Amino acid sequence: MLSLKRYAWLCVLGGEVAYFICLFGGYLPMRTERATEIHKALFETLPGFVWGNPLSVALGAVYVFVAAWAFGAYIAWMHNTSLIKPERNPERKTSGEVSPCPVPSH
């Protein structure tokens, strides 16, 4: 079973690392001007994000934290519930079992 807390924190760590790598990538001059504009516009789809503003960077990190925590909790819950096997009722017959039929006597 996955630990919800541990898995969610690992997702947060991965999400924050990816966020800051992508954010840092916006400052690298390896792209065309149009590609840099698109990159910055993508980040500006986050509510309240303004490119280059330190408070916006922190706000974006909070958004990533919340989304990654929710994602990690959901994945851990889905994984753990898939491992739970329903109890088998010995009196209930499944479709593969054949009930004994009495042999007719003549």
Give the pLDDT confidence of 7-41 residue by residue, as tens digits: 899 999 999 999 999 888 888 888 888 888 888 88
Share of the chain above pLDDT 90, in %: 30
Q: Are 50 and 44 in contact (CB under 8 A)?
A: yes
Element (H, E) at 104: none
- The span from the CA of 8 to the CA of 70, in Å, is 7
Rounded CA separation 58/41 (Å): 17
**pTM to 2 decimal places:** 0.69
CA distances to 17, 70, 75, 84, 99 from 78, in Å:
24, 12, 5, 10, 36
Residue 92 to residues 25, 76, 85, 88, 95: CA-CA distances in angstroms?
Answer: 60, 32, 16, 8, 10
pLDDT of residue 103: 66
